[in-house]
Structure 1
Amino acid sequence: MKRLNRVDIGRAAMSGRCRPWRATTLGGLLYLRSKHSRGTGYEFKATVAAVLGYMLDGMDTMVLSLTLTALAATFALSSAEQGLLGFVLTAGMVVGGYSFGILADRFGRVNTFTYSILIYAVFTALTAAATSYPWLLITRFLSGVGTGAEYGIGMTLMSEAFRAKWRGLGSTVVSMGWTIGVILATALSLSLMPIYGWRAMYMVGIAPAILAAYVRWRIPESPIWRERGRAAAFPLRELFSATHRRFTAAFLVVAIVAEMGYWGIMIWLPSALLTEYRIPFARTIYFLLATDGMILIGMFVFGLLSDLAGRRITVSAGFLGMVLAVLYFAMAKTPQQVFVASLLTGFFVNSYFTVFGALFSEPYPTHARSTAVNFIFNTGRGFGGVAPLIIGVLAPAFSISGVIGMFSLLFLAAAAVIWTVPETRGAQLK
């Protein structure tokens, strides 16, 4: 019997000749690393670079959260001033996503993305050197401009490099970059902040940016973008053309609901566990870690499902799962029930995000693809920042868990809206 080497295994995984659940990220990446097949090296490099880029997004968000108390102590910040730091970071991400998405369609994916990473690196370093609150506001906003571009351009690059059959799995791998960034920032905070303080966290944030920029410089420009040509002066108009406006409207609803659900629930979940359900702090941390573990499992399962069953049914199933999770959470009484509700929430809360990279890329032409992905995703991100405020305002009247339960109506709407557009699984990019 012939002994298969790693290239044979990866090739079988990515071509579909082995069982679908064996076409794992490992098998796919082994194949992509092979230089014996045309284009596979590019696939691998593009996907890894996209993962590293989106990892910066997760790190930047989490580092601010982890250092906020220390920043408040250093600069004597009020709670409102602390909240404004989070707002300007999100605002910068939205601005960066919109502007760099258009630039990537106009001037190319790789060059534009490299500049966005350098912006992140420079202003992260300047944050570490901050001597005043206005300095913090400016550097956090401009750092957000850099990280805001990572998702849309990275997903566009992956979509144009990855084969149609497993594009959903590629989207999943890139989506996991954000979670990796969050975990990395948390781990670094435990080892660095007690010894070196909050400034060290922002200095370390430069390292992955340099690494990602190095990877980007080693990747040729997207062949699809080179073949199809650069965008017109204002590619955003393509999103609202007669051909694409139905997709854009449906995707905006889906992205807004997904982002509001994630940020609203995940920010208030610890408070709900501690105050409403009287879960001890140590057990709350255990619940949250278990929830994070289920997030990773759910992302992989739904990413694979999107390639096997289709984008629409996967997104719809994820939102319907969230309906079940938040309603069960609202009705939970015992610690055991709360734990089950936390696991369900974790499994479904990021499930549809894994599909978005492929879903938002496939209907649009090359000259407007990066614009579309960035515009849709970052519009959702902007609305997501409002969700924690809504829960905070309504919680005194309905309780945190009660307001979270109300989100089930939004999830139902999104589960239905996705069926108003045609299926795009396996689509060849235009």
Structure 2
Amino acid sequence: MEKIDQHSHSLLTNQKWVLATTSAGFALENMDVLFLSFAMSSMIADLHLAGGAAGLISSITNLGMLFGGIVFGMLGDKVGRAKTFNYTIVIFSLATGLLAIANNIYMIYILRFIAGIGAGGEYGVGIALIADSFSRKQIGKMTSIAAVGGQIGAIIAAIISAWIIPLFGWHMLFLIGIIPIGLTFVIKRHVHEKTISDIKQVTSSSEKDQGIFKQMFSTPRLAWQSIGLMIMMTVQIAGYFGLMNWLPTIVQKQLNLNVSSSSLWMIVTIIGMSIGMLVFGSIFDYFGSRLAFTIFLLGSAAMVYALSLANNMITLLAIGAVMGFFSNGMFGGYGAVISQLYPEEIRSTANNLIVNVGRAIGGFSSVIIGILMDYGSIALVMGFLSSLYIFSFIILLTLTGLRKLAPNRK
């Protein structure tokens, strides 16, 4: 009995380390990625970059994420999640740190592509590590808690950038991006995971004989499930980029609000997003994925459009917080759904492929919104974003696999 209790205590301790390290990994990865946003104006001025050349940096990063997502997803399924998670941290940290010595746009392109490879590989591997370490009835909440880490990383990036860039310049900001490598030592020492042989033992013989992509696309139902989830993730990313990159500017410009900086709006919205993630995870685990996504997708559609009603700073902050609650609250839920819908032995690949296709496509929403701003009204822009969430809800209704994910009320 004593051995069993010790084992149970050890398992509980390991679960805490898994959740803590994946949350920290997501925070540090998002911090590194967002350093670019805060440093962009300084980089443009210092290196005399044209707008198009500067805009291409983000697109190249997203392509790196897609490539890294596929490569490291498969690696995580073959050699282990924790080990691969460490590889991704080292890659995006080193590439970010090396930007401190980048003095031309071509070197920046190369390093951002490499950083994207690491950052794109991290998400799915981390989510798979969580799914492997917790019971099914806990996955929704745990993946959502880990996703909150990414939002904390965004706030850290804003604070550090505001301090470092005016004093030391953008090169020093990127040098700080090498700090996450320290997390790999913690993971190596404290995180224990299932071996790949253990994962394969719980997989049926018929699944073992199929390749990764066959298990995701071999039948019309599976193919549509994978494509449908990619569409939903594309909407998720498109909404996030639109909200964080353009909406503060849109509202300030169109409604003539005297907002000295978008930092306060961004922080309040991120806080709303973090609370939304925790609430979504609880609804997901207790009532099921379909109801959770239904509430948050329809809530997002309503609140995005409601932002056009803001006529003062207080209203803007209040609606922004609630909009953030719904729009990004469901981000962690995608990892939970993917981890439950696909066999355990391809969790890393399935998560990374679906999420990073969404990133690669959804990232272009900023371009579309910029065009709508030039030729349309604020109502048109809000209507576009709102319609995306409605479209995602319609896709949700067609995914029959989600109906089989019964809520865990016990």
Structure 1 residue 309 corresponds to structure 2 residue 252: no
1:365 maps to which residue?
343
Q: 1:277 aligns with which of 247, 255, 259?
A: 255
Structure 1 residue 76 corresponds to structure 2 residue 53: no
RMSD: 2.3
| Contact 1:319/1:415, CA 8 A, preserved across alignment | yes
Which range is displaced more, 402-411 or 170-179?
402-411
1:417 maps to which residue?
395
Structure 1 residue 202 corresponds to structure 2 residue 174: yes
1:258 maps to which residue?
236
Structure 1 residue 235 corresponds to structure 2 residue 212: yes
| Contact 2:91/2:115, CA 8 A, preserved across alignment | yes
**Compared with structure 1, are the counterparts of its residues 333 and 42 closer, same or farther at alpha carbon in structure 2 (3 Å cutoff)?**
same
Q: 1:178 aligns with which of 144, 150, 168?
A: 150
Residues in 1 aligned to 2:225 and 2:353: alpha-carbon distance in whole angstroms: 13
| Contact 2:32/2:93, CA 8 A, preserved across alignment | no
SS at match of 1:362: helix
SS at match of 1:245: helix
SS at match of 1:118: helix
User: What letter matches 1:264 in structure 2?
Assistant: G
Residues 121-160 of structure 1: pairs in structure 2 closer than 5 A: 121-160=93-132
Which range is displaced more, 217-226 or 173-182?
217-226
Residues 24-423 of structure 1: pairs in structure 2 closer than 5 A: 37-223=9-195, 226-228=198-200, 234-242=211-219, 244-282=222-260, 284-333=262-311, 337-419=315-397, 420-421=399-400, 422-423=403-404
User: What letter matches 1:237 in structure 2?
Assistant: K
TM-score computed with the length of structure 2 as normaliser: 0.89
Q: Deviations over 1:345-399 (max 9, x none)?
A: 1221112112112111111112211111101111111111111111111222222
Q: How many residues get paired?
A: 394
SS at match of 1:222: coil
Residues in 2 aligned to 1:193 and 1:324: alpha-carbon distance in whole angstroms: 37
User: What letter matches 1:177 in structure 2?
Assistant: G
* TM-fit CA distance, 1:102: 1.5
**Compared with structure 1, are the counterparts of its residues 203 and 339 closer, same or farther at alpha carbon in structure 2 (3 Å cutoff)?**
closer
| Contact 1:306/1:314, CA 8 A, preserved across alignment | yes
* TM-fit CA distance, 1:146: 0.7
User: What letter matches 2:155 in structure 1?
Assistant: I
User: What letter matches 2:322 in structure 1?
Assistant: L
| Contact 2:73/2:351, CA 8 A, preserved across alignment | yes
Residues in 2 aligned to 1:238 and 1:114: alpha-carbon distance in whole angstroms: 26
Residues in 1 aligned to 2:114 and 2:373: alpha-carbon distance in whole angstroms: 33
User: What letter matches 2:213 in structure 1?
Assistant: L
User: What letter matches 2:86 in structure 1?
Assistant: T
| Contact 1:106/1:232, CA 8 A, preserved across alignment | no
Give ranges in structure 1 of 5+ residues lacking alignment.
1-33
Q: Deviations over 1:93-112 (max 9, x none)?
A: 12111221122112221222
Give ranges in structure 2 of 5+ residues lacking alignment.
1-5
**Compared with structure 1, are the counterparts of its residues 70 and 251 closer, same or farther at alpha carbon in structure 2 (3 Å cutoff)?**
same
Q: Deviations over 1:190-236 (max 9, x none)?
A: 22222222122112111123224531454233247634169779512
| Contact 1:160/1:224, CA 8 A, preserved across alignment | no
Residues in 2 aligned to 1:217 and 1:120: alpha-carbon distance in whole angstroms: 21
Residues in 2 aligned to 1:108 and 1:232: alpha-carbon distance in whole angstroms: 20
* TM-fit CA distance, 1:333: 4.7
Residues in 1 aligned to 2:188 and 2:222: alpha-carbon distance in whole angstroms: 30
Q: Deviations over 1:32-59 (max 9, x none)?
A: xx97535212211221221122123311
SS at match of 2:161: helix
Residues in 1 aligned to 2:364 and 2:291: alpha-carbon distance in whole angstroms: 28
| Contact 1:318/1:348, CA 8 A, preserved across alignment | yes
| Contact 2:80/2:196, CA 8 A, preserved across alignment | no
| Contact 2:199/2:345, CA 8 A, preserved across alignment | no
SS at match of 2:102: coil
Identity %: 29
Q: Deviations over 1:207-266 (max 9, x none)?
A: 123224531454233247634169779512211122733431331221111111111232
Residues in 2 aligned to 1:110 and 1:254: alpha-carbon distance in whole angstroms: 27
* TM-fit CA distance, 1:343: 2.8
* TM-fit CA distance, 1:300: 1.3
User: What letter matches 1:404 in structure 2?
Assistant: M
Residues in 2 aligned to 1:274 and 1:290: alpha-carbon distance in whole angstroms: 16
User: What letter matches 1:239 in structure 2?
Assistant: M
SS at match of 1:288: helix
Residues in 2 aligned to 1:232 and 1:38: alpha-carbon distance in whole angstroms: 34
RCO higher in structure (CA 8 A, sep ≥6): 2
TM-score computed with the length of structure 1 as normaliser: 0.85
Residues in 1 aligned to 2:185 and 2:171: alpha-carbon distance in whole angstroms: 22
Residues in 2 aligned to 1:402 and 1:335: alpha-carbon distance in whole angstroms: 22
